[in-house]
Copies of this chain bind each other. A is one copy, B any other.
Amino acid sequence: MTSNTAGGPTRRERMRAETIAEIKASARRQLQEHGPSGISLRAIAREVGVTPAALYRYFDNLDALLIATCCDLYDELIAETRKAMDAFPPDAHLERMKSWIWAFRAWAVGNRREFELMISYPEANSAMSINGVRLEQAPENVDPVTMKSLEHSQLCGREMAAFYRKTENGELPPAGPVEMPEISEGLQDELMDKCSAFIVGEPLPLSWIFTFTSAWVRVFGLVVMEAFGSLPVQDNVDEFYKTQILAMIREFGIDG
């Protein structure tokens, strides 16, 4: 019914996929030119050469189109950072993580408007409150953009976990993470639950989880601030970022 006897996509299906791609391409062009709030359904229709109402054959509404665009962008970001990691051998964990950190920032800076859309998506489009998306839910019920965002962080998180495992095995010299302030049981549980399960992917010692979240917050914070133009430097941002990351790595004491 949805495909012919040969099993390949129908002619109609091919046409449809092509149109969808064209719509998304137009949306992205407008995103780059006019920012997240400058994406107009009517303008897309104009560019694609079609009536505004026709777009509703492909997306339920503008929101759905933005969400789909967000997901595509995450896929692109994930592919890019994965490629950067894979430039190093599988056991060069530290190099791979550093490469990821740099590639993340590079993509975000090279695709500012896109990144803005990705991080400002929840409040802009979701009817849920800002804390409405709760990771405790079954993965199917979490909105797709949040899922993609998790996938993105997992790429680095799992590398960290692999690194930990090797230091535990003795394959690598023991690298103690930072000493940790006292943490209440509630926060401990939440860190273990959320981060261990959703980001790192396997149970890690609390000190490692704490280190990972600390690093995550610093890296992500830097990138977001740069995207929003809130950094205290403007000309030497590349070096500033690198310097901050370097200082962080040294503080964690996991690198010579």
Contact = CB atoms under 8 A, between A and B. Distances in A.
Interface of A: 35, 37, 112, 116, 119-120, 122-124, 130-131, 133-135, 149, 178, 180-181, 183-184, 186-187, 190-191, 194-195, 199, 213-214, 216-218, 220-222, 224-225, 228-236, 239-240, 243-244, 246-247, 250-251
B187 A234 contact: no
Q: Give the interface centre of A184, A216, A228 by most chain B CB atoms within 10 Å.
A: A228
Nearest to A130: B229
Contacts of A180: 247
A191 B230 contact: no
Nearest to A229: B130
Contact of A234 (B131, B183, B251): B131
Nearest to A121: B228
A229 B186 contact: no
Contacts of A231: 217
A39 to B, nearest CB: 12
A184 B239 CA distance: 8
15 contacts: A133-B229, A180-B247, A184-B236, A186-B235, A187-B236, A187-B240, A190-B235, A213-B233, A214-B247, A217-B221, A217-B225, A217-B244, A218-B221, A220-B230, A221-B221
Closest 7 CB pairs of A and B: A221-B221, A187-B236, A130-B229, A181-B246, A187-B239, A213-B232, A181-B243
A123 B229 contact: yes
Contact of A178 (B178, B199, B224, B247): B247
B116 A247 contact: no
Contacts of A225: 217, 220-221, 224
B195 A232 contact: yes
Contacts of A133: 229
A120 B120 contact: yes
